[in-house]
Amino acid sequence: MTAPTSTEIDDLRLAWRRMLLDRPDRSFVSHPSSIKWIESSLGEWLSRAQEHLARGYVPRASRLCLVPKAADLLRPGLVLDLEDELVYNLLVGRLLPRIVPALLPLQGDPDIAYQLEPDTRVPLWIHRGFKIWRQWRDKSLEKLRVDVLERALHDNFSIAGNATFDATLFRFLLHRLGSSGSRAAVDYALDALRARPEETAAVIRYLSSIGHTRGEVNKVAGYIASKDAIDDYQRFMLLRWFYEEKHEVKKVLSLARRWSVDANREPWLRSYAVAYLGLFGDASDFERLEHRYQQLDSDLEKAEFLAAMKRQERGRRNALYARAKDGFFTKLAVKEVKSSDKKPIRA
């Protein structure tokens, strides 16, 4: 690979912006704090990547991520290390001046759904989803009454497990009903978690948009703790939802305790289990996390454990922080926690 020039840092910044645009909808997984930590010290992180490129870049092994599809199938996705993803975006960006002229004549006909941005320095390089048609459609849909949408839901769906299930229509109705604050789809949405795990993202977006009740939160918790929830990717999505919505539920806390120290679980599931314990765990949880921390090798995973122990007794916690190796992510995790210690408590 060609050694980076003095201007390449600008290309790396552009690649980083393109990475951010892929989140959350075009990225299979996420971590509770990694993007926030990188943003807090972006210059240093990009400089590290620049140094690695100068020495001759060696990518890390990617990790398989099995994502549920319709008909009980699985989509094999690959999760890249964050720096590898940055370099991938950098390389594609360098190729764009050659790619765009070759594909521009095809934009709109036949390629309608995903159209390239002609300006190769614009971060959003692909316009998604029938851009022009959607502009017209969105204006038209604003005039659809909620009762019409609710009737369409009842006319087309009995339960999510129906053999004639129309995923596109289901997602559309959830989105529109959620935007309208209608609770008509709650039962359908909750049923879809069991019958249509590939619809989990649409379901939790809908539940978040309508201001879900505690009873509905408990139903989701009952599902994730049941034998019906067999897919680790769906568990990851639901646990991330519980964490981001800050729902404290005993069943979920019990699952997080198991998953946080289970090396057989996928790292993205473990990371949110650790973060959930950081929010709602007790002293015994922090002791288990501290013990598990000593066995970790990944700088990012160590940082997640250190951040989760924010509420541990301060003297013991700071003693652990003092022993922590000065990795990029561990350093930022400790800095964030100690900075929050100094913030005044509002009355």
Residue 87 domain flag: yes
Does 99 reside within a domain? yes
Average pLDDT, the chain: 89
What's the pLDDT at 138? 56
Most distant CA pair in the chain, distance: 65
**Is 154 within a domain?**
no
Q: State how many domains the chain has.
A: 1
Which residues, 6 or more positions from 302, have their beta carbon under 8 angstroms from its beta carbon? Answer: 293, 296, 324, 325, 327, 329, 330
Task: Collect all residues with Cβ–Cβ distance below 8 Å to 108 and sequence separation of at least 6.
Answer: 115
Question: What Rg do the C-alpha atoms of the chain give, in angstroms?
Answer: 23
302 lies in some domain: no
- What pLDDT band is residue 6 in, cutting at 50, 70 and 90? very low
DSSP string, 112-139: -SEEE-S-TTSS--EEES-HHHHHHHHH
- Please tell me the predicted confidence (pLDDT) of residue 141: 56
Residue 318 lies in a domain: no
Q: How confident is the model at residue 112 (pLDDT cuts 50, 70, 90)?
A: low
| 63 is a domain residue | yes
Tell me what pLDDT residue 134 has.
54
Torsion of CA 185, 186, 191, 196, to 10 degrees: 60
Nearest to 259 by CA among 279, 288, 283: 288
Residue 5 has a pLDDT of 52
Answer yes or no: is 80 within a domain: yes
Mapping DSSP onto H, E and C, the string for 180-197 reads HCCCCCHHHHHHHHHHCH
Residue 195 vs residues 125, 148, 161, 198: alpha-carbon distances, Å: 36, 25, 5, 9
Which one of 38-52, 102-116, 155-169 scores highest in mean pLDDT? 38-52
Look at strands 74-79 and 63-68 and give their pairing.
antiparallel
Average pLDDT, integer, range 269-294: 96
Question: Can you tell me the mean pLDDT for 295-300?
Answer: 93
Q: pLDDT per residue over 157-209, tens digit each?
A: 876 555 578 888 999 999 999 999 999 999 999 999 999 999 999 999 999 99
pLDDT at position 82 is 97
Q: Who wins on pLDDT, 8 or 198?
A: 198
Statement: residue 293 has pLDDT above 90: yes
Question: What pLDDT sits at residue 71?
Answer: 85
- The whole-number average pLDDT for the span 232-237 is 96
* pLDDT value of residue 346: 43
Q: What is the average per-residue pLDDT within 116-120? A: 88
For residue 258, which amino acid is it?
R
Answer whether 301's CB lies under 8 Å from 324's CB: no
> Which domain does 37 fall in, by range?
8-104
Which residue has tokens 């250190």? 306
265-303 in b/e form (b: 16+ CB < 10 A) is bbbbbbbbbbbbbbbbbeeebbeebbebbeeeeebbbbb
Question: pLDDT tens across 54-85, in order?
Answer: 999 999 999 999 999 988 899 999 999 999 99
- Percent of the chain residues past pLDDT 70, beyond the cut: 88
- Asked whether residue 115 is domain-assigned, the answer is no
The pLDDT, as a whole number, for residue 340 is 87
- Per-residue pLDDT, averaged over 273-290, amounts to 97
Q: What is the pLDDT of residue 258?
A: 97
Mean pLDDT of 83-92: 96
At residue 136, the pLDDT reads: 44
Residue 113: pLDDT band (50, 70, 90) is low
> Given pLDDT bands bounded at 50, 70 and 90, which one contains residue 338?
very high
d(CA 318, CA 290): 12
